[in-house]
Chain A
Amino acid sequence: MKAWRLSLLLSIIALASTAHARQVAVIADTNNTVISVTSAELVKIFSGHTRSWPDGKPIKIILRDPSSADMELAARKLFNMTGDQARAFVRAHSDMITIADSDDAVIRFVGTTRGAIGLVDLYSLTKGVNVLKVDGKLPVEQGYFLRGN
């Protein structure tokens, strides 16, 4: 028996067998005054077509390895790219995109770099960064853009 509070939804089954839906959060440094972006704006930012924030600060992009599950989801949702295409894209834009080896590293970089923007799993979030709404929604809201399997 596991030490567990019976939450009283007695019939809910803990079962992890197939992939769970992920929510990828878009984060920015806490000095950034932007709180919301559209998915179209995100596409422009991550493809390098938008290179500065409205206040003129240059945008610095930091992401996880494109083969990570979160990044595959983001590449699919933002650019309709496969994992291989996303890896090729990142290689071709290495001057513009910094790759970090963990969500913690992404958060540290974004939290300490003015103008930085990154993508992390919802459950990696810390107080050191701001979470941007995408199309008016936070990652926990129904219909959030960067959500899926």
Chain B
Amino acid sequence: MATPFRRNFCFAAICLLLPAIAAAGENSQTGTLPITTKSRQVRQLLDEAWRLNLDEVKQAEAIEVLHKAVKVDPNFAFGHLLLSQCSLDPAEQVREQQKAFATRAHASSGERLVIDWFQNAADHKLIPAITDMNEVLSRYPHDRWVVFLANWWLTQQTQYERAVAVFERSGITDSPGLMNNTAYTYAYMRRFDRAFALMEKYVAALPKDPNPQDSYAEILRMAGHYDQAIHHYQAALAIDPQFYSSQFGIADTYSLMGDQNRARQEYQSGFKKFASLPELHRVQWQTREATTFVREEDYASADRALQAIADRAHAQAMSQVEADTYRQMAIYQPDGKQGLHLLDKAETALRQGQNAMPFAIQQEMAQVLRARVEAALKSENKKMAAATLARLATVSRNSDDKVIESAYHGAAGAALFADHKYNEAMSHLEEDINNPLSLQLLAAAYQKVGYGTEAKRVSETLANLNDPSLEQAVVVPGFRKCYQDPNCGSAFKNAALKK
């Protein structure tokens, strides 16, 4: 058994780092995170930011309010932290995370823990991030900001059960924003009964607000209830015709329903009506519009649409957006060599590394390498696949990031599957179950080794996946078609489609 070196702690140095300003009481007994600012206006702005960001989900407006707050009090470390998490501008996300860390000496110990938690997460230091989060949660289990941040972060970590437990244990029953977020977490768990119940409460709590209708629509769509989803999106737009998310939600829903012409009409109508979308939202829905061509297997049109997004991202120095766009183009290329060419462009963009958090660049690089392994396998270049997989394994070994790890397991599973090593492939693919490409291989691997029940379960998951992503477009429609065709050699005939 190995033993550690004893560490020398510089107590004096630690004391010097204590906040110069005493926080407004360390309110762990009342369960409220102490917010450190001398400005009453900043506290009011923080409340407003909650309402806008969480309850009404007007992110752009909430971000403006947070801008005001940190302008009034530039040392408002928690404000910088929130801005880093809410911002829709990658460059601002980076800047604000740095400012939160730089100003943390002005914050209460509870706020510092929150800042450390997100800094550790950003630095891929997962165990310290977890212990920071649990420390904050044990001190302030009923604080709405803490509950929101924990629910959100745990959901990102795919710790859905834990994320809902944070909400359930908080005792907070009157926060529309938390109902909304937790309903989504239940939906990711495919516990739609719970999700719908929370959505009913959310709609009732804010009857004049469009977001509850919009959220309800999205969750209905995830459950495959397309017509009801469109009805709720329309209800949201009836409340607020400027609520652009619902306009694009309708477009996404038509695309999932298979009506690509109507979907494109709705996207175009949205872009025309809402000319000044936040950049990342524009990219998201332009990508979805391009995905309509992928669903029609019109790859030339998809290429043109996505190339335009990549060009714009390049012009705006948004390296990760550019790389991610090339990566997505590579995924659907019938010719593996063309896919590899696009992935070269993705890597070039990532090397620029402009306006993106370092961790986001690393995550994207892992995704690109994973796509490269798949493209190499498609073009039967096993040597390149093996070399790229080795590169990705090194990246993954030196990181504890879930996205990077999943990318590695997805790639390793694909390579082993191609080598007919199904048992070994399964253990990797099981670690990447958020990706339809891996789910498809996993179902096939289970079938190959005779795990019929497992194959059926995974097949059902895949067949009932209603997500407007490009990966879904590449995998799920074909999977469903094969499932319904008696002449198709699919081994997944037992999967039940839920409608």
Q: Which residues of A contact B (CB under 8 A)?
A: 1-21, 33-37, 41, 53-54, 122-127, 131, 133, 138-142, 148-149
> CB distance A35 to B4 under 8 Å?
yes
- Given contact pairs A3-B86, A14-B155, enumerate 18 new A-B contacts (beta carbons under 8 Å): A3-B53, A3-B177, A5-B86, A5-B87, A6-B280, A9-B324, A9-B364, A9-B367, A11-B324, A15-B461, A16-B434, A54-B1, A124-B134, A125-B130, A125-B134, A127-B131, A131-B127, A141-B400
- The answer to whether residues A126 and B465 also contact, given A13-B471, A133-B2 and a CB cut-off of 8 A, is no
Q: Is B342 an interface residue (CB 8 A)?
A: no
- Indicate the member of A1, A17, A35 with the most B CB atoms within 10 Å: A1
CA distance A125 to B188 in the complex (A): 24
Query: B252 to chain A: closest CB distance in Å?
Result: 12
Q: Is B26 an interface residue (CB 8 A)?
A: no
Q: Which residues of B contact A (CB under 8 A)?
A: 1-4, 53-54, 57, 59, 62, 85-88, 90, 93, 126-127, 130-131, 134-135, 138, 152, 154-160, 162, 177, 180-181, 184, 188-190, 211, 214-215, 218, 245, 249, 280-281, 283-284, 287, 320-321, 324, 328, 356, 360, 363-364, 367, 393, 396-397, 400, 403, 405, 408, 427, 430-431, 433-436, 439, 457-458, 461, 465, 467, 469-472
Q: For residue B434, which residues in chain A have a CB less than 8 angstroms away from its CB? A: 12-16
> CB distance A1 to B4 under 8 Å?
no
> CB distance A15 to B53 under 8 Å?
no
- The answer to whether residues A12 and B403 also contact, given A5-B93, A127-B135 and a CB cut-off of 8 A, is yes
CA distance A2 to B1 in the complex (A): 47
CA distance A127 to B135 in the complex (A): 7
> CB distance A2 to B215 under 8 Å?
yes
Query: B48 to chain A: closest CB distance in Å?
Result: 14
Query: B201 to chain A: closest CB distance in Å?
Result: 16
Return 5 A-B CB contacts under 8 Å, by A number.
A2-B57, A3-B62, A10-B287, A13-B472, A140-B400
> CB distance A126 to B134 under 8 Å?
yes
Q: For residue B431, which residues in chain A have a CB less than 8 angstroms away from its CB? A: 21
Q: For residue B135, which residues in chain A have a CB less than 8 angstroms away from its CB? A: 126-127
Nearest first, the 7 A-B pairs at minimum CB distance are A140-B400, A17-B461, A36-B2, A33-B3, A34-B1, A1-B245, A16-B188
Closest A residue by C-beta to B409: A21
CA distance A139 to B130 in the complex (A): 12
Query: A42 to chain B: closest CB distance in Å?
Result: 10
> CB distance B87 to A9 under 8 Å?
no
Q: For residue B320, which residues in chain A have a CB less than 8 angstroms away from its CB? A: 8
> CB distance B393 to A142 under 8 Å?
yes
Which of A8, A15, A20, A148 is close to B465, meaning CB atoms less than 8 Å apart?
A15
CA distance A12 to B402 in the complex (A): 12
Which of A7, A18, A53 is close to B433, meaning CB atoms less than 8 Å apart?
A18
- Indicate the member of A19, A54, A142 with the most B CB atoms within 10 Å: A142
> CB distance B54 to A3 under 8 Å?
yes
> CB distance A126 to B1 under 8 Å?
no
> CB distance B159 to A7 under 8 Å?
no
Which of B160, B218, B245, B284 is close to A6, meaning CB atoms less than 8 Å apart?
B284
Q: For residue B461, which residues in chain A have a CB less than 8 angstroms away from its CB? A: 15, 17-18
> CB distance B321 to A8 under 8 Å?
yes
> CB distance A13 to B364 under 8 Å?
no
Query: A41 to chain B: closest CB distance in Å?
Result: 6
CA distance A133 to B2 in the complex (A): 9
- The answer to whether residues A142 and B396 also contact, given A34-B1, A35-B4 and a CB cut-off of 8 A, is yes
> CB distance B93 to A11 under 8 Å?
no
Query: A100 to chain B: closest CB distance in Å?
Result: 17
CA distance A11 to B327 in the complex (A): 10
Query: B240 to chain A: closest CB distance in Å?
Result: 12
Which of B131, B181, B321 is close to A125, meaning CB atoms less than 8 Å apart?
B131
> CB distance B465 to A140 under 8 Å?
no
> CB distance A17 to B324 under 8 Å?
no
Q: For residue A5, which residues in chain B have a CB less than 8 angstroms away from its CB? A: 85-88, 93
CA distance A115 to B284 in the complex (A): 53
Q: For residue B184, which residues in chain A have a CB less than 8 angstroms away from its CB? A: 2, 14
Query: A54 to chain B: closest CB distance in Å?
Result: 6
CA distance A116 to B405 in the complex (A): 31
- The answer to whether residues A15 and B59 also contact, given A34-B3, A140-B126 and a CB cut-off of 8 A, is no
CA distance A4 to B245 in the complex (A): 13
Q: For residue A2, which residues in chain B have a CB less than 8 angstroms away from its CB? A: 57, 180-181, 184, 215, 218
CA distance A10 to B458 in the complex (A): 23
> CB distance B190 to A16 under 8 Å?
yes
> CB distance B324 to A10 under 8 Å?
yes
CA distance A141 to B431 in the complex (A): 13
Query: A145 to chain B: closest CB distance in Å?
Result: 13
Which of B127, B211, B360, B439 is close to A8, meaning CB atoms less than 8 Å apart?
B360
> CB distance B127 to A125 under 8 Å?
yes
CA distance A123 to B158 in the complex (A): 11
> CB distance B433 to A36 under 8 Å?
no
Query: A3 to chain B: closest CB distance in Å?
Result: 5
